[in-house]
Amino acid sequence: MNSRESVALKQSAVSSAADPPEKRFHARDEKTVAADQQRARLSMLFRGGKFMAVGWLGMLVNSAVLFTLKGGLHVPLIPASMIAIEVAIIHNFIWHRQWAWAERNNGHKKSFFRQLLLYNAATGAVDFSVNISVLWSLSTFLNVHYMLANIVGMCAGPFVKFWLNDKIIFKET
């Protein structure tokens, strides 16, 4: 910023008592709006980081359950994957509710179950359709090991799930 821009900025930021009230409030409102927008961007960035951290933990939960069921107990692949997905969904919901979207949590049991149902439906729809399709296709047609195919499947839907969480399940009221 050059000195002329700096002076102009200082002059526009200073309002005098002689200015009409609407001009003084308008300048303050623009600054408030800009600050609010900046806070919203930072909040979304931090929430996105929390969302990804929970997602990575959920991937570990999913992988551990799948390995235990398929690799250890020899449960067929699709039912084992469905159970692993559901366990990870519940795990992730609890972390998202208590950490990533904690400020939107009003603490009522009714809202907990409503959010759990919405979260399970939205996330389950993405996970069950995308993850299982990718897992089954890769392991069946390309002979990719089921654990690797599962990881590829889990990486396919996070962006859709973030949007569903932010705009529908944990929406601002």
Contacts of 12 (CB under 8 A, 6+ apart): 27
Show the tokens assigned to 145: 């090991």
Share of the chain above pLDDT 70, in %: 83
Residue-wise pLDDT tens digits, 111-155:
889 899 999 998 899 889 989 999 999 999 999 999 999 999 998
pLDDT of residue 7: 47
Q: Look up residue 41 and give its amino acid.
A: R
Contacts of 84 (CB under 8 A, 6+ apart): 61, 62, 63, 65, 66, 69, 150
Cβ density class 9-38: b for 16+ within 10 Å, e for less: eeeeeebeeeeeeeeeeeeeeeeeeeeeee
Least confident of 48-52, 97-101, 103-107: 103-107
